[in-house]
């Protein structure tokens, strides 16, 4: 096989300004830093994007290095299945996994969901995120988004009862889901869950720190609770059944669409509801995750809506309705 017929990998770090700031319990940021992998072969190029997450010890530089370390393996025939063992679950594997799926779909002239034997994604409603702030600031942000049918509210611990009450007052018709990002404690867990129940919240995401969430199995949960930082791939599911009602599947955690789809099937079999989540990133990160939406009760793929600008051929958003990707973008 000539060098032109061998898979060629390039990868790079990209920076995308956020519209304003994005604030959660761990802090605020004004840009999304992504790493893009491109695999070319036979005149076709497949792309994948990931977001390295410091919460899991990832950096853009280390993620880029992990991707570039796979060049020789790709030349030697590394495919998606072998990739699952070649790299650990995480951002780097996600970008390469999605790039390989995109490439395979383009070479075969099929859409990614056809290639993978999955139902075609349809337009669906995505959550829209309200960043953490004072009750007054969050109420003001919610008032501007109150027309959206599903809002995801970032909370942060003390004072969350006032925050969620202020949000509900401004969005009486919206379905509310909450993300505490591990910021609650055993001391305020039941109080905050009660405040969410009083506000008609449908789902509370990751209230306690991962590894310190045993209390969830011992209390009455008045609102469904969803694992995020506590769940990564299929291997982490079984031990969560007593503590959580739902799981948030993110491609950057699972290490790509290949594992995420298998994880969704396993989660459903275990009785979990499914949320499809994302990091703040461009449409290239959201596009593969759209293949999970037919199995999802909650879709949270609003990353591009939080950016100052998205990439060319980005996903189409009509209000809170997100549409499947065009082939020009991915898959």
What does 140-191 look like in DSSP terms, one character per residue? HHHHHHTTSSEEEEE--STTHHHHHHHHHHH-TTSEEEEE-TT---TTTHHH
Q: Give CA–CA dist 222/44, Å, rounded.
A: 51
Report CA torsion sign: 45, 46, 49, 50: negative
Architecture (CATH level 2) of domain 3-115 = 2-Layer Sandwich (3.30)
Q: Is CATH 3.20.20.120 the classification given to domain 124-322?
A: yes
- What is the structure's pLDDT at 63? 98
Task: Grade residue 144 by pLDDT with cuts at 50, 70 and 90.
Answer: very high
Domains of the chain, residue spans: 3-115, 124-322
Q: Taking 80 as the threshold, does the pLDDT of residue 3 lie above it?
A: no
Q: What is the average pLDDT across 174-182?
A: 96
**Phi, psi (rounded to 5 degrees) for 31:** -145, 150
By percentage, how much of the chain surpasses pLDDT 90?
A: 93
Q: What is the average pLDDT across 224-241?
A: 94
3-state DSSP call for residue 271? coil
pLDDT tens-digit series, residues 77-133:
999 999 999 999 999 999 999 999 999 999 999 999 999 999 999 999 999 999 999
Active site residues: 154, 250
Those residues whose C-beta lies under 8 Å from the C-beta of residue 123, and which sit 6 or more positions away, are: 318, 321, 322, 323, 324
- What is the structure's pLDDT at 19? 87
- What is the structure's pLDDT at 1? 43
The CA–CA distances, whole Å, from 51 to 33, 37, 47, 130 equal 6, 12, 14, 20
Task: Grade residue 37 by pLDDT with cuts at 50, 70 and 90.
Answer: very high
Q: What is the average pLDDT across 200-229?
A: 97
Considering the entire predicted model, what is its pTM? 0.93
By percentage, how much of the chain surpasses pLDDT 70?
A: 96
């Amino acid at each position: 096989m000539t060098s032109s017929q061998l898979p060629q990998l390039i990868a790079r770090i990209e920076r995308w300004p956020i519209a304003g700031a994005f604030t959660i319990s761990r802090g605020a940021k004004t840009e999304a830093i992504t790493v893009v992998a491109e695999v070319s072969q036979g005149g076709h190029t497949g792309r994948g994007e990931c977001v390295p997450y410091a919460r899991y010890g990832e950096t853009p530089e280390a993620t880029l290095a992990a991707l570039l370390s796979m060049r020789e393996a790709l030349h030697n025939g590394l495919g998606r299945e072998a990739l699952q063992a070649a790299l650990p679950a995480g951002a780097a594997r996600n970008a390469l996994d999605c790039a390989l799926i995109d490439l395979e779909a383009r070479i075969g002239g099929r859409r990614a969901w056809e290639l993978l034997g999955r139902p075609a994604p349809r337009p669906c409603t995505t959550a829209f995120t309200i960043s953490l702030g004072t009750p007054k600031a969050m109420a003001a942000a919610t008032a501007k988004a109150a027309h959206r049918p599903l809002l995801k509210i970032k909370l942060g611990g003390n004072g969350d009862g006032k925050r969620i009450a202020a949000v509900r007052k401004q969005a009486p018709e919206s379905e509310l889901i909450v993300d505490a990002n591990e910021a609650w404690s055993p001391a305020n867990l039941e109080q905050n869950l009660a405040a969410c129940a009083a506000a008609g919240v449908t789902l509370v995401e990751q209230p306690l720190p991962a590894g310190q969430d045993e209390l969830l199995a011992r209390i009455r949960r008045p609102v469904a609770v969803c694992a995020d930082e506590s769940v990564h791939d299929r291997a982490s599911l079984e031990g969560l059944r007593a503590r959580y009602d739902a799981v948030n599947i993110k491609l950057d955690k699972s290490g790509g669409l290949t594992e995420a789809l298998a994880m969704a099937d396993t989660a459903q079999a275990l009785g979990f509801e499914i949320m499809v989540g994302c990091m703040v990133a461009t449409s290239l990160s959201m596009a593969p995750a759209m293949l999970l939406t037919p199995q999802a009760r909650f879709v949270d793929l609003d990353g591009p809506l939080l950016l100052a600008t998205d990439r060319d051929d980005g996903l189409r958003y009509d209000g809170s309705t997100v549409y499947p990707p065009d082939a020009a973008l991915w898959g």
